[in-house]
Amino acid sequence: MPTTSIMPIIKVPDPILRQRALPVSEITDGTRQLIEDMVATMYDAPGIGLAAPQVNIGQRIIVMDCGKKEEPNLIQMINPEITGISEAHTVLEEGCLSIPDQTADVERPAEVEVKYLNQDGMSQSLVATGLLAACVQHEIDHLNGVLFIDHISRLKRDMILRRVMKELRKSTVDK
């Protein structure tokens, strides 16, 4: 039986979060295992989305589940690309496993079309609205070294980063 492992989640200010991830050129059993591990890590956190750079892997892979507890909706994407966005924008509160315990309102296109490969290398497309639209844009941002705090004012961003650094220092002293 295949086993999965929970991977450590990289937090700000680690520079890996600011690097551009590389496309997956060949989907191997290793790729599929990595995706399984990312899914397990996301559910364990718990979170609704996770991008490979957040587990220290510079590859263009994201996993998401914006479904409800009774109705999970696991989506796994390799080399995702936004191919269309709506003119209408919407504001949703976002958080990030790499920026623990912080949230902010982020404005993004309300609807996006995404093309990607599944674990078998088949080309897929998805039109996302609502929470899933925000989630898929947030996760694709991670592949480009972009964080949700880059979409808010400098004042709010600095405030969030200051809070995270303070917590980080506290937890280092506690250990």
Q: Which sequence positions are flagged as catalytic?
A: 139
Size of interface with Ni ion, in residues (CB under 5 A): 1
Place of tokens 């609807």: 111
Contact mark string toward Ni ion, 59..98, x via CB under 5 A: -------------------------------------x--
Q: Is 38 in the site for Ni ion (CB under 5 A)?
A: no
Q: Smallest distance, Å, CB 108 to Ni ion?
A: 13
Q: Smallest distance, Å, CB 138 to Ni ion?
A: 6
Distance from C-alpha of 64 to C-alpha of 3, rounded to nearest angstrom: 20
- In angstroms, the Cα distances linking 81 to 10, 55, 92, 146 are 23, 20, 21, 15
Which residue number, 12 or 110, has a Cβ lying nearer to Ni ion?
12
Q: Are strands 89-96 and 99-109 parallel, antiparallel or unpaired?
A: antiparallel
Which residue number, 27 or 47, has a Cβ lying nearer to Ni ion?
47
**In one letter, which amino acid is 67?**
G
Q: Are 76 and 34 in contact (CB under 8 A)?
A: no
The interface with Ni ion within residues 94-133 (CB under 5 A) comprises 96
Positions in the binding site for Ni ion (CB under 5 A): 96
